[in-house]
Structure 1
Amino acid sequence: MATATRKTKAASTAKAAGKGAAKTGANATSGIPNVPVFDKDEELAAYREMLLIRRFEEKAGQMYGMGLIGGFCHLYIGQEAVVVGVQMASKEGDQVITGYRDHGHMLACGMESRGVMAELTGRRGGYSRGKGGSMHMFSREKNFYGGHGIVGAQVSLGTGLGFANWYRQDGSVSLTYFGDGAANQGQVYESFNMAQLWKLPVVFIIENNRYAMGTAVTRASAQTDFSKRGLSFGIPGEQVDGMDVRAVREAAERAIEHARSGNGPYILEMQTYRYRGHSMSDPAKYRSKDEVQRMREEHDPIEQVRARLLREHKVAEDELKAIDAKVREIVNDAAEFATHDPEPDVSELFTDILLEPAQA
């Protein structure tokens, strides 16, 4: 079986090919101006990373249905272009922090599929040794700071990461993700205020999938243009097509450079869409099946890249099938490992709960 070990960062292949997003032009199919142009290597890198997230989440959904994953499980299917595009624009040392819809972010940061899936099933080989589950896992090595179950909590923590970067003057940027529902939390605005006051290197990435936990943004938010949420603090922001990985990377490059250069925080509203319910227990009756199907057919982030690879870069269908087969092999290996890896020893109940004092 193939191992799940992968290179750090989603953009390793794309970065080696150069900053293709600096080139812009008309979209060959839509005619929309100022859409960044990816070369073949960049398109392939984005395709592999998004496909890995999609197949991983599909497998996680199956395992949840089989009773192998307990508690809550929030899938990222449909939103893959957001984290992959942002990671393609990031640099080594930049941190990522997000909410509970977090599996895709972990994979895009370079965390191993085996470790992520094993954490979902509560096994000792998981990133939190089986004690965190779907919503709470971390990797200091990959600069991934969670996975947080409290709505909006990661925004204050992400601002704290930005403060640490500012204090150390290490040139790193905190990439802080949250959803349209969390955008209405009070602590978000406290964080905005401090981030702008101290010009902290933070990019606030609002993943607007339109329905929060199950209520349309038009019914829950007086200001539905989330890119404007920081205007009273003087924080610039913009709306981005979160279903197009090229547009995401282009916007993320500018936002990250703004923050890294000492100009303070930046807000990116990624207009995206989740195909599944809020969690695995959500039947999603607040929207029509036709709406979901239309989004899949017209805006799917992975199919957009696949179509360009076939049409513009003349990649053979067999090559794309081989990529899919390799990705499925990685995911199946992760599922096999997560199913048979031992559960944590009972003694783990008493670890990671108290910091022992340093010895003199």
Structure 2
Amino acid sequence: MLLIRRFEERAGQLYGMGLIGGFCHLYIGQEAIAVGMETVKKPGDQIITGYRDHGHMLAAGMDPKEVMAELTGRAGGSSKGKGGSMHMFSTEAGFYGGHGIVGAQVSLGTGLALADRYRGDGRVSFTYFGDGAANQGQVYESFNMAELWSLPVVYVIENNQYAMGTSIERSASETRLHRRGISFNIPGEEVDGMDVLAVVEAGAKAAEHARSGKGPYILEMKTYRYRGHSMSDPAKYRTKEEVDEVKKTRDPIEHLRERLEKAKVSEEDLKAIDAEVKKIVAEAAEFARTSPEPDPSELYTDVYLEAAQ
């Protein structure tokens, strides 16, 4: 969680310096979800999410240097500088994007689960989307298909309360998003997405449900993003006092730090972790800064895949 927090802070700085182009959506405040769910994954399981994706990449084990280089559009990036913030990929890490179209990843994640069921490989697709995407039509088409065919997919709704800039109370007639699967007979539950241990417990239950052949499961992770929707969003639709109150009372990293201190983990050990994380992030930023631009010929690679005969 600390790696994601420090990485995103540095990404915000690089964006301000003009080193990251296009859109950039930071994961600060939501770290417990990606990290908690990662602990219940098994080898071969897949992750797919929307455009707020850096945290998921790091939790999945992607190299911070390659992720940061991709943000800056460099050849050393995980997608050779062609994916940018929203569209990088790593099949080696089981990470299937990063998708810029709101809600598009839900049908794609359902397709991954269909492939898993077809192959009978015991894998699970962890498909993430936000409270804004929860109102998209393709989400419910996917729900119907997943339950109808008992697909091994866990839908993780990262409800950070504000979609792009509209509060969930103003955009959704049913704000309890874990109930959105009721008409399809998909079970769901609400989880404190700011508590990494609560995420682990709920995630393990949902994954076992899907993996055992019982079909899809919905987890609504109640969370909060500290920054604007993207780097261009000043977030004037909420008060500074509201954000400060969440940071003070619900921050996922501070919450875990308190638990660790109660478990007699020393302050020196915690500081050592922070120092190591800062070193990793500094090296990633330097690698991104010095990695060369992609050769123009890269525009023509990875467009088509030649199928095996």
TM-score range (shorter-chain normalised) is over 0.9
Deviation at 1:315, TM superposition (A): 1.4
State the distance in 2 between where 1:357 and 1:95 align.
22
Give the counterpart letter for 1:204 in structure 2: Y
User: 1:76 maps to which residue?
Assistant: 27
State the distance in 1 between where 2:120 and 2:19 align.
44
User: 1:326 maps to which residue?
Assistant: 276
User: 2:289 maps to which residue?
Assistant: 339
4+ runs deviating over 2 angstroms: 354-358
User: 1:6 maps to which residue?
Assistant: none
Deviation at 1:92, TM superposition (A): 1.3
Q: Answer yes or no: is 1:188 the counterpart of 2:139.
A: yes
State the distance in 2 between where 1:316 and 1:264 align.
43
Match 1:63 to one of 14, 17, 27: 14
SS at match of 1:282: coil
Deviation at 1:357, TM superposition (A): 5.7
User: 2:111 maps to which residue?
Assistant: 160
State the distance in 1 between where 2:273 and 2:197 align.
20
- 1:285-324 correspondence runs (5 A): 285-310=236-261, 312-324=262-274
State the distance in 2 between where 1:301 and 1:243 align.
5
Deviation at 1:356, TM superposition (A): 3.6
State the distance in 2 between where 1:300 and 1:57 align.
15
Deviation at 1:350, TM superposition (A): 1.0
Unpaired stretches in structure 2, ≥5 consecutive residues: none
SS at match of 1:275: coil
- 1:145-224 correspondence runs (5 A): 145-224=96-175
- 1:28-67 correspondence runs (5 A): 50-67=1-18
Q: Answer yes or no: is 1:351 the counterpart of 2:301.
A: yes
State the distance in 2 between where 1:354 and 1:141 align.
19
SS at match of 1:93: coil
SS at match of 2:21: coil
User: 1:21 maps to which residue?
Assistant: none
- 1:6-155 correspondence runs (5 A): 50-155=1-106
Number of aligned residue pairs: give it: 309
Give the counterpart letter for 2:159 in structure 1: N
Match 2:229 to one of 278, 288, 292: 278
Give the counterpart letter for 1:333 in structure 2: E
CA offsets 1:62-93 (integer angstroms, 9 cap, x no match): 00000000000000000000111111111111
Question: Could you tell me the TM-score, scaled by structure 1's length?
Answer: 0.85
State the distance in 2 between where 1:251 and 1:357 align.
40
Unpaired stretches in structure 1, ≥5 consecutive residues: 1-49
CA offsets 1:147-168 (integer angstroms, 9 cap, x no match): 0000000000000000000000
SS at match of 1:89: coil
State the distance in 2 between where 1:186 and 1:356 align.
33
CA offsets 1:140-191 (integer angstroms, 9 cap, x no match): 1111000000000000000000000000000000000000000000000000
State the distance in 2 between where 1:254 and 1:245 align.
14
RMSD across aligned positions (CA): 0.8
SS at match of 1:239: strand
Give the counterpart letter for 1:313 in structure 2: A
SS at match of 2:111: helix
Q: What is the percent sequence identity of the aligned residues?
A: 72
SS at match of 2:39: helix
SS at match of 1:175: strand
